[in-house]
Amino acid sequence: MNFKDKVLIVTGASSGMGKSCCELLLENEAVVTGIDINDGTIEHKHYSHCKADVLEEKQIRKCISEIDSKYGHIDGLVNAAGIFGNNKPFYELTGEEWNKVISVNATGTFIVSKAVSPAMIREKHGKIVNISCIRSTIYKNNMADYAASKGAVASMTSAMALDLAPYNVQVNSVAPGFIYTGMTAASFDIPEVRAKSEALIPNGRLGMPKDIASVVLFLLSDMSDYVTGTMLFADGGYHIQK
């Protein structure tokens, strides 16, 4: 996979899977701009950081416009910004709690993709990779808000792929399983929780952010030119276990 001089944008770039995607792209000689509500955490000559909220459309349009003006093209986008649900039964969720999860995970993906699409349409070239989740199709108690948000990402991916297909832009999503990140460490660092989780995974281990980043890189590369509108599970086989 050759990413030399390709211009990539990654949201949620300051931590977790988003940061890992940035780092792996940089290792493969890409030019990367991270977008995050927090300050940047990566130091690299080919990395720049845009501190912005994915729900603030004016901020996002400004950031994307500056990238496009600087490089003249945008080759790919990774929508990795997201938050967890509130861990409550749906009937106990407030409207505010529900709306926040849906907004960040689904609407944020829409806003950034909408801002990037004109540059890709103009060049008739591009890749968009959205981070969904196994919870978009495999459900668990107290996750209605999160499952709905990630299900929306999965459905939106296919709809976006159809809209952009005439312009040679491929849109796909990745569905991570149990991934060890800064956000999940508090839970997975409990030995009993980790053991119980790993017992459900045919591969026998938790995933790491780089496991997801590797799948994302495939979907951003020329090797995936005939793949669009699909969701790839990256879960160690969790979705096929009985």
- The answer to whether residues 138 and 88 touch, using CB atoms and an 8 Å cutoff, is no
Q: How many CB atoms lie within 10 A of CB 28?
A: 17
Integer Cα distance of 197 and 200 in angstroms:
5
Q: Is 138 exposed, middle or buried (0-12, 13-18, 19+ CB in 10 A)?
A: middle
Rounded Cα distance between 188 and 195, Å, is 9
- Catalytic residue, candidates 47, 91, 139, 146: 146
Say how many C-beta atoms besides its own lie within 10 A of residue 118's C-beta.
14
Beta strands in 52-161 (DSSP E): 76-79, 126-131
231's enclosing H/E stretch is strand 231-234
Please choose, from the candidates 231, 25, 29, the residue with its C-alpha nearest in 3D space to the C-alpha of residue 129. 231
Question: Which residues contact residue 49 at a Cβ distance below 8 angstroms, ignoring those fewer than 6 apart?
Answer: 13, 14, 33, 34, 35, 36, 39, 40, 42
Q: Tokens for 202, please give them.
A: 């045919």
146 part of the active site: yes
- Show which residues are catalytic: 146
